[in-house]
């Protein structure tokens, strides 16, 4: 067969595995829905400048990974590589920040990054995210982290760690930045990394290469440079997490790949995913609104990767929900039975019983095969003779037991036995 394939770095979600994906997406969002977060949905593409300004000109996401396009009307757009900038843009545009604060929002959708595909890293992937806009309160940072941990725990995930850091604010970060630059300039680094020292030295700490990491052992630490306000803020976040029974590891090298973070940053890493181990992450971005031309709006948020959470569950051997099966499968034999049973199926569905039908005019053998494969608990079978007697056959597909039931009452009987 010579037909099309999914583009490189993407994959299709198909039954039965797609059911697990949906269940994970719902589980990641459930704690947010219980905590005052409202649903937000923004377009899949935005003005390219929203991301270059918001995420950062010098980040990999903007320089290497964005899918950009020019429309026929001449607009420069980009497929969204992440959610925060879009959600903040939408909130500012709708003036939500002039109402009660914080504005708490959650979202779920597809994101696009032109990365080198590998296990757990795709060019089209899915995130559930949350943003709390307009409040500087360590309890808000703690709330979001707790909700993420609770979401993972609700799925049964165990083998994950929470890495925590503070990146300081506009007072202490510049001082630290200068100290770090001074140190980095003295190291033996390649051209590209040397350029990065001048643009965004904190990102050098994130370099995964062994020869770079080795030289970073003596680098100045942000934790030694935090101003009193940042230190106090960070201590409060840590205390609130500890009180909520959340364990975390301090990671002074955790800077994450986006430029907008200030103060609290965190990442969830899973122990069995190989090199693409981050299942989620986030942090505070007090300056982003102003970077986008908006008012001062201190905010915090996270995004959890749905694809990688599914992989993490598999890696831990946790049973994933399988495809939703119907409880009843109708097998008609002949035209008259087809009409009668199609009516029964419709009635069952309207009464809240899940039911399916042998479409396509199959013979008894094939139709029964479909019924068995469907995983349904009961088959309703009827031929011309049954209908002449006003009856249908009700077969329990687990026990094999078969009984005659009046056509009139079959829906009520099934409902009683199933609900």
Should residue 368 be labelled a site residue for ligand AMP when binding is judged by CB under 6 A?
A: no
**Binding residue (CB under 6 A) for ligand AMP from 27, 105, 144, 278:** 278
Should residue 21 be labelled a site residue for ligand AMP when binding is judged by CB under 6 A?
A: no
Should residue 115 be labelled a site residue for ligand AMP when binding is judged by CB under 6 A?
A: yes
Report the sign of the C-alpha dihedral through residues 176, 179, 182, 184, in that order: negative
Should residue 109 be labelled a site residue for ligand AMP when binding is judged by CB under 6 A?
A: no
CA 419/CA 218 separation, integer angstroms: 65
Should residue 280 be labelled a site residue for ligand AMP when binding is judged by CB under 6 A?
A: yes
**Please, which residue, 122 or 233, has the CB nearer to ligand AMP?**
122
The one-character DSSP state at 96 is G
SS (H, E, C) 338-377: HHHHHHHHHHHHHCCCCEEECCCCCCHHHHHHHHHHCCCC
DSSP state string for 264-283: EEEEEEETTSTT--EEEEEE
Peptide bond into 102 cis (omega under 30): yes
Report the sign of the C-alpha dihedral through residues 363, 364, 369, 375, in that order: positive
Give burial (CB, 10 Å; 0-12/13-18/19+) of 319.
exposed
User: Helix, strand, or coil here: 103?
Assistant: strand
Helices 228-243 & 138-154 angle (0-180, nearest 10): 30
Should residue 125 be labelled a site residue for ligand AMP when binding is judged by CB under 6 A?
A: yes
Residue nearest to ligand AMP (CB): 305
Q: How far is the CB of 61 from ligand AMP (least distance, A)?
A: 7
**Please, which residue, 113 or 234, has the CB nearer to ligand AMP?**
113
Residue 153 annotated as lining a ligand binding site: no
**Please, which residue, 35 or 277, has the CB nearer to ligand AMP?**
277
**Please, which residue, 129 or 298, has the CB nearer to ligand AMP?**
129
Should residue 281 be labelled a site residue for ligand AMP when binding is judged by CB under 6 A?
A: yes
CA 92/CA 71 separation, integer angstroms: 25
Report 198-257 residues binding ligand AMP (CB under 6 A): 257
Should residue 80 be labelled a site residue for ligand AMP when binding is judged by CB under 6 A?
A: no
Instruction: Name the residue among 226, 32, 236 with its Cα closest to residue 138.
Output: 236
Residue 260 annotated as lining a ligand binding site: yes
Q: How far is the CB of 283 from ligand AMP (least distance, A)?
A: 9
Q: What are the structure tokens assigned to 257, written together?
A: 């790949």
Residue 131 annotated as lining a ligand binding site: yes
**Please, which residue, 46 or 307, has the CB nearer to ligand AMP?**
307
Should residue 160 be labelled a site residue for ligand AMP when binding is judged by CB under 6 A?
A: no
Q: Per CB under 6 A, which region of 118-126, 154-162, 188-196, 229-237 contacts ligand AMP?
A: 118-126
User: Helix, strand, or coil here: 203?
Assistant: helix
The one-character DSSP state at 121 is B
The CA-atom distances, in angstroms, between 233 and each of 91, 165, 226, 250, 369 are: 26, 12, 10, 15, 63
Residue 57 annotated as lining a ligand binding site: no
Instruction: Name the residue among 362, 325, 347, 337 with its Cα closest to residue 411.
Output: 347
Should residue 305 be labelled a site residue for ligand AMP when binding is judged by CB under 6 A?
A: yes
Should residue 113 be labelled a site residue for ligand AMP when binding is judged by CB under 6 A?
A: yes
The one-character DSSP state at 36 is T
**Binding residue (CB under 6 A) for ligand AMP from 108, 127, 326, 370:** 127
Do 180 and 202 meet the contact criterion of CB atoms below 8 Å apart?
yes
**Please, which residue, 310 or 407, has the CB nearer to ligand AMP?**
310
Residue 334 annotated as lining a ligand binding site: no
Residue 267 annotated as lining a ligand binding site: no
Residue 113 annotated as lining a ligand binding site: yes
Q: How far is the CB of 316 from ligand AMP (least distance, A)?
A: 16
Q: Per CB under 6 A, which region of 86-94, 156-164, 299-307, 313-321 contacts ligand AMP?
A: 299-307
Should residue 307 be labelled a site residue for ligand AMP when binding is judged by CB under 6 A?
A: yes
**Interacting residue ranges for ligand AMP, rule: CB under 6 A:** 82, 113, 115, 121-122, 125, 127, 257, 278-281, 303, 305, 307-308
Q: Which residue ranges are tagged as binding site for L-histidine?
A: 82-84, 113, 127, 131, 256, 260-261
């Amino acid at each position: 067969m010579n037909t099309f394939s999914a583009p490189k770095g993407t994959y299709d979600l198909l039954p039965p595995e797609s059911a697990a994906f949906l269940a994970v997406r719902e589980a990641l969002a459930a704690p947010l829905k219980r905590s005052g977060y409202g649903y937000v949905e923004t377009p899949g593409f935005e003005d390219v400048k929203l991301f270059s300004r918001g995420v950062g000109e010098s980040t990999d996401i903007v320089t290497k990974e964005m899918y950009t396009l020019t429309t026929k009307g001449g607009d420069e757009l980009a497929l969204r590589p992440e959610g925060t900038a879009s959600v903040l843009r939408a909130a500012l545009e709708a003036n939500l920040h002039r109402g009660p604060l914080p504005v708490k929002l959650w979202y779920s959708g597809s994101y696009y990054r032109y990365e080198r595909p590998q296990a757990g890293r795709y060019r089209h992937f899915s995130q559930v995210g949350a943003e709390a806009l307009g409040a500087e309160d360590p309890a808000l940072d703690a709330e979001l982290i707790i909700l993420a941990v609770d979401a993972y725990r609700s799925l049964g995930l165990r083998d994950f760690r929470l890495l925590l850091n503070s990146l300081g604010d506009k007072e202490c970060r510049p001082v630290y930045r200068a100290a770090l630059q001074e140190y980095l300039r003295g190291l033996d680094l390649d051209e590209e990394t040397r350029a990065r020292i001048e643009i965004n030295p904190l990102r050098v700490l994130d370099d995964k290469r062994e020869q770079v990491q080795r030289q970073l052992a003596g680098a100045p630490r942000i934790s030694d440079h935090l101003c009193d306000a940042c230190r106090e803020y960070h201590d409060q976040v840590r205390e609130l997490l500890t009180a909520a029974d959340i364990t975390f590891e301090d990671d002074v090298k955790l800077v994450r790949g986006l430029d907008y973070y200030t103060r609290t940053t965190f990442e969830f890493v899973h122990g069995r995913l190989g090199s693409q181990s981050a299942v989620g992450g986030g942090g505070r971005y007090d300056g982003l609104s102003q970077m986008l031309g908006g008012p001062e709006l201190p905010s915090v948020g996270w995004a959890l990767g749905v694809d990688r959470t599914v992989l993490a569950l598999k890696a831990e051997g946790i049973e994933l929900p399988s495809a939703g099966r119907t409880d009843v499968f109708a097998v008609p034999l002949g035209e008259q039975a087809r009409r009668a049973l199609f009516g029964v199926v419709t009635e069952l569905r309207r009464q809240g019983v899940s039911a399916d039908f042998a479409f396509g005019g199959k013979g008894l053998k094939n139709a029964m095969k479909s019924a068995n494969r469907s995983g349904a608990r009961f088959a309703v079978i009827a031929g011309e003779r049954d209908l002449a007697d006003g009856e249908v056959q009700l077969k329990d597909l687990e026990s094999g037991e078969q009984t005659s039931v009046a056509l009139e009452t079959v829906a009520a009987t099934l409902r009683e036995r199933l609900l």
